[in-house]
Structure 1
Amino acid sequence: MLPLLSLAVSCLLFLALASGAAIRRDTVPPDATKAAVDAMMALYDEQTGLWDPNSTASSWWQSGVALWALTEYMVKSGSHEYLPQALNTVKIQRAPLTWWPDGDGEFRADSTDDTGWWALAMTSLYELTGDEEYLLIAEEDEAYMYKYWNTTTCSGGLIWNIPSRTYHNAISNELYLELTAKLHNLIPEDTMYLNHSLQEWEWFKNSGMINGDNLINDGLTDDAACVNNGMTIWTYNQGVILGGLVELYEATGDILYLDEAQRIADAVVNSATLVRDGTLSEPCSNEEACEPNGTAFKGIFIRELAKLNAALDDHRYRSFISQNAVTAYENAQNGSNFYGFQWQGPYDNVTIGTQEAAVQLLVAAYL
């Protein structure tokens, strides 16, 4: 009977493959993470130090996130294979920006959040290499961001748009929270960065951006009221705050920061808008509607959720992270290790946003 049974199983497998039916593996090959990184590096341009620089579906800040994702991969895997490209990016991109005439280099852009992404990448590059040059760049970026702490409206907080001095948004303030707490944790005997981080959190938690569902809207109204503007609940706004709160917990030992982070993370995992059929999703329905920025958001959330998960004794988000990785591997990649926008699939198109999101997902799940 065993040969007949084996023959029957083989026939069923052949028919399923021939008909295009999905065969669930429920596992991801051990080399899938490196393969996704290699594919991301196929989008890298040596001359500019950017990823996919000629595409309208890419933004300058996304190359900062790509550098952050690449460096985190090297930190966790122990590989330095792409360190020359990382250092090349820093060398080229820290120069004064041609599109921001008032900037003087070192990743100081015309919006505070753009600077924040690059600054966090510098902290990871410092962890990878031990070279204090990158830590100093991150400190310079922190000082640049803090120049735009508002002292006239909304009782504080960073503004987003530097030329117009407008808009208190979530992401700039979340990035500043994580950056300052991270700098404190990297620099022995620091007090300044910890004070800045505590100042940021005290303002943020009272700002109204965290709504009644424990989810974070995009920002505050531009009028005198400075209240929650009710705008889109993006996944990355739910993510970066987690990273900041974990760093604050590590800085202070105060478990209340982890409690707050769990409330936000639980709200996301249980959200019918942000999680569909168990898979993290954006409010925008497709890649075209999310371009160029939103394609990268989910990976940022998962990276920061994994940071929270590692800080918790019960690692309660491990299965959610791994489930998303399996779903993306099985449904969102094209067979050449490029990943599309929706992790549920089908594969549509790769951009640096979609690929760096997949890299962050796979690093979070398997490294």
Structure 2
Amino acid sequence: MYSLLIFLLSFPSFLCIKGFMLDPNDTSSVDEAAGVVADGLLNYYAGYKKGGTIGMFLPPAYWWEAGAAWNGLLNRYLSTGNSTYNDLVKTSMLYQVGENSDYMPSNFSTSEGNDDQAFWGLAAISAAEANFSNPNADEPQWLELAQSVFNQQVNRWDGSKCDGGIRWQITEFNSGFDYKNSVTNGAFFQLAARLARFTGNDTYTQWAEKVYNWSIKVGFVHEDYTVFDGTSTKDNCSSIETTEWTYNSGLYMAGAAFLYNHTGSSIWRTRTEGFVNKAIDSFFHNDVLYEPVCELNGSCNYDQTSFKGFLARFMVYTAQMASYMLPKIEPLLYKTAIAAAKACCGGHDGVTCGFQWWWFNDTWDGLYGLGEQLSALEAIQAPLLLKNIHIYNSTDGGSSTGDPMAGLYTPTVSFAMTKFTIEKQHWILLIISLVLLLLVAF
């Protein structure tokens, strides 16, 4: 313990004159803090810059993190009722819709991964569940967008390697195509579970169960509810990369909670509790959320600084869907919110959010970026979101309309230009050419 203390003291830290003195139960206190943090988050928004793209954040932020950020700003409205960013959230989520009324926009179709698309799909189902302002009749609807992501990812379920699962990347030309991981399959699992609850259609339930069972079989989800990172198709998924990330645990946790709420099954109740208990053991220090893989040694990259904020978000959903977990979850979110707020006291503006909350209370660790701001936003608003959010479905006030065939109306639906699909297209073109030649000959 002494050596760890010396190690931590070697980190640069900056004493804050005053952090946010947050009362997580007080709407005005959370609204003020979340507003300042959200404004800081939007300092990284590309759409405000000349030549910037609506819905996108400045490099090095990837496309997926933009979808996650709009979900976070939607939750800011749901937690406090402050609608300042609602038009921006809606405009951005619709601008990044692809040409097939999906989340495969042409400018990212060759580079995005399945996990990237899934995070936009989760933002869309969040909008449907929140009964967020519906798009115009001639625009794709929130439920429809979530269904389109689900349908396209069903088409990418790959039984040729590892007996199932979805690959990390969509195209074989991208690094990571040979990797199947828990963020991709966990996000797909959660999306299926939430669609099952919202629509009442048990096709989604069956797919959620299929993904979960495969995740256990392949070794992503351990018997003690540890969630490991992934595995390679090159050795038919025979070895597991055992890194544990906060958001992977959260994806499966909330998915299980949605299924428990939808089915009432004791199996999903047990699984939900298992994921919560494991997350508490693994990702909280002094009752404050942290990212153990990279936070202590300062090695978290630009993406990874946002992960623990998603666990905070998913724990809110879990406590809403499985209220018996509230006594365990609420105190942790309460203490984490206070710690995160106190760390938002750095930078030239004096309100930039740092990354390390559990150790640097009342100080700023010198770290900053989109991930730090997004994580802090999710943490600060989580206790109030827990009290105020209502997760609707289609029978209790959810008004978003869908299309069970969304995303399946064009031949480019999956954009999965694998060797198999390329060869298949070549054979189709050859057959068409032969038919045309025969017609001309006769």
The TM-score range, normalised by the shorter chain, is 0.7 to 0.9
Paired residue for 2:143?
135
Paired residue for 2:433?
none
Match of 2:301 among 270, 291, 297: 291
The CA RMSD measured in Å over matched residues stands at 2.8
1:173 aligns to 2:185 (yes or no): yes
Match of 1:353 among 359, 367, 371: 371
How is 1:3-14 mapped onto 2 (pairs within 5 angstroms)?
A: none
Match of 1:341 among 330, 348, 355: 355
The answer to which of 19-28 and 215-224 deviates more is 19-28
1:88 aligns to 2:91 (yes or no): yes
In 1, distance between residues paired with 2:300 and 2:157? 29
- Deviation, 1:332, is 4.4
Paired residue for 2:120?
118
Contact 1:94 1:106 in 2 (8 A): no
Match of 1:211 among 197, 212, 222: 222
How is 1:242-321 mapped onto 2 (pairs within 5 angstroms)?
A: 242-271=253-282, 274-282=283-291, 283-285=293-295, 289-310=299-320, 311-313=322-324, 315=326, 316-321=328-333
TM-score normalised per structure 1: 0.83
In 2, distance between residues paired with 1:238 and 1:171? 9
- Deviation, 1:224, is 3.9
- Deviation, 1:65, is 0.5
Pairs aligned (count): 339
Contact 1:215 1:264 in 2 (8 A): yes
- Deviation, 1:212, is 5.3
The answer to which of 329-338 and 234-243 deviates more is 329-338
Identity %: 22
The answer to which of 225-234 and 149-158 deviates more is 225-234
Query: Highest relative contact order (Cα 8 Å, sep 6+), 1 or 2?
Result: 2
Contact 2:340 2:380 in 1 (8 A): no
Match of 2:169, SS state, is coil
Match of 1:220, SS state, is strand
- Deviation, 1:106, is 10
CA displacement, residues 284-323 of structure 1 (integer Å, 9 cap, x when unaligned):
1369622221011000011111222232235111111111
What amino acid maps onto 1:121 in structure 2?
A: A
How is 1:157-172 mapped onto 2 (pairs within 5 angstroms)?
A: 157-164=165-172, 165-172=177-184
- Deviation, 1:51, is 5.2
Paired residue for 1:4?
none
In 2, distance between residues paired with 1:20 and 1:150? 51
Contact 2:45 2:57 in 1 (8 A): yes
| CA spacing shift, 1:302–1:227, aligned 2, 3 Å | farther
1:202 aligns to 2:205 (yes or no): no
Highest CA radius of gyration, 1 or 2?
Answer: 2
In 1, distance between residues paired with 2:258 and 2:106? 27
Match of 2:275, SS state, is helix
Contact 1:107 1:118 in 2 (8 A): no
Match of 1:229 among 240, 245, 253: 240
Paired residue for 2:198?
186
- Segments of structure 2 that go 5 or more residues without pairing to the other structure are 1-14, 386-442
- Segments of structure 1 that go 5 or more residues without pairing to the other structure are 1-18, 98-102
